[in-house]
A and B are shown apart, each in its own frame.
Chain A
């Protein structure tokens, strides 16, 4: 009875689209198979670049490089009012979704979700995506070699969202 409203979205979409297809006399399962086959082919195309990317990112995470980097950059982020406790997480989030999620979890555990640090961390996590991953996957699928200023623009936006999250938490959440 007390089902979460959010849980309706996915089933409604899947059932809704199939039902809509039926009313338009689409051969739904044949169509599904055709689309799924295309999807499989895409993954096949993505395999080499994703393997390379994930290996490189895992090595980066385990090497302690992020600690060195966040020591370097925390004066900069502190200048913009970002608590330095979340700098490692913010640095990891454009590179590794899983990695930053586990750092987010430890921030919640250590400082609590309703502390200032926890709130800023929540906003950062809620307003960024894994930039490097998206750029790699989207371009690898169509074999683009030169991505021009894509990465620069994406990382600028990530930095912007880090600075803005501290700012907007200050003005929208009463302490």
Chain B
């Protein structure tokens, strides 16, 4: 994917900069971009180390198994082919739990662990499996119940009721998530019919 996205972004930026007369800005963006990548990576280091460590404790103590038992009905409904792969379902359940609680920072390391487990049962390791697509797409939609960051910012800018948007945000998130899963699943069916190149 990035083999297409990366050049498209770069070429489109260059052409737009010429059109809008912002080549100066574009030039400094090259260096600034590389620098902000380092900042982002540093943040990832602290996030993945901290939550990786804490979750390892939870895993060893059997907490993960407990959570995944609670989440099993929902997760098994979304990933019917993983019913027997308890090991994979556990990681997926933990990621969903962290997302729903609004712990975005903890959700990423858990999600990456789930991806590793999905990859271990993938038949072609170059291609995304059907379950990976559904799982990643779920993580690109917001699953949290309370939009904390947004509510805080609304408060800072003098909203009389920062939480007023909560029902709308919840409904929107829910239907966007349902759309994401549905489109991903339709795509899965379509591809598998076309050529049986990558099942699971």
B residues in contact with A23, CB < 8 Å: 61
Task: Point out the residues of chain B lying under 8 angstroms from A164, CB to CB.
Answer: 171-172, 175-176
Additional pairs, 12, CB under 8 Å, beyond known A56-B33, A62-B28, A126-B147: A17-B61, A55-B30, A60-B12, A63-B17, A68-B16, A126-B142, A148-B187, A152-B183, A156-B179, A157-B183, A164-B175, A165-B168
Q: For residue A58, give the distance in angstroms from its CB to the closest CB of chain B.
A: 3
The answer to whether the Cβ of A154 comes within 8 Å of any Cβ in the partner chain is yes
A36 touches B53 (CB 8 A): yes
Instruction: Please give, as numbers and ranges, the residues of chain A lying within 8 Å of B118 by CB-CB distance.
Output: 142
Interface size on B, residues (CB 8 A): 104
Shortest Cβ gap from B145 to chain A (Å): 11
When distances are taken between beta carbons in the complex, the residues of chain B under 8 Å from A109 are 157
B140 touches A129 (CB 8 A): yes
Selected from A39, A123, A146, A154, the residue in CB contact (under 8 A) with B126 is A146
**Shortest distance from the beta carbon of A26 to any chain B beta carbon, whole Å:** 5
**Interchain CB contact under 8 A, B172 and A161:** yes
Residues of B within 8 A of A141 (CB): 112, 115-116
Report the contact-size class of chain A (Cβ under 8 Å from the partner).
35 or more
- Chain B nearest CB: distance from A165 CB in Å? 5
Q: Sorted from nearest, which 4 A-B pairs have the closest CB atoms?
A: A35-B56, A126-B147, A39-B52, A58-B33
In the bound complex, what is the Cα–Cα distance between A94 and B17 (angstroms)?
Answer: 21
Indicate whether B71 reaches chain A with its CB closer than 8 angstroms: no
Interface residues of B (CB under 8 A from A): 1-3, 5-6, 9-10, 12-14, 16-17, 19-20, 22, 25-26, 28-30, 32-34, 36-38, 40-41, 44-45, 47-63, 101-103, 106, 108-109, 111-112, 115-116, 118-119, 125-128, 132-133, 135-137, 139-142, 146-151, 153-154, 157-162, 164-165, 167-169, 171-173, 175-177, 179-180, 183-184, 187-188, 191
Binary per-residue interface labels of chain A (61-85) against chain B in the complex, 1 for a CB within 8 Å, 0 otherwise: 1111101100000000000000000
What are 26 A-B pairs at a CB distance below 8 A?
A9-B101, A14-B54, A20-B63, A21-B58, A31-B53, A32-B54, A34-B53, A35-B55, A36-B53, A42-B52, A42-B109, A51-B37, A55-B33, A55-B34, A59-B9, A63-B17, A126-B151, A126-B169, A139-B128, A142-B119, A146-B127, A147-B128, A148-B128, A150-B136, A151-B1, A158-B141
**Which residues does A use to contact B, with CB under 8 Å?**
6, 9-10, 13-14, 17-18, 20-21, 23-24, 26, 28, 31-40, 42-43, 46-47, 49-65, 67-68, 94, 101, 104-105, 108-109, 112-114, 118-119, 122-132, 134-139, 141-154, 156-158, 160-161, 164-165, 168-169, 172-173
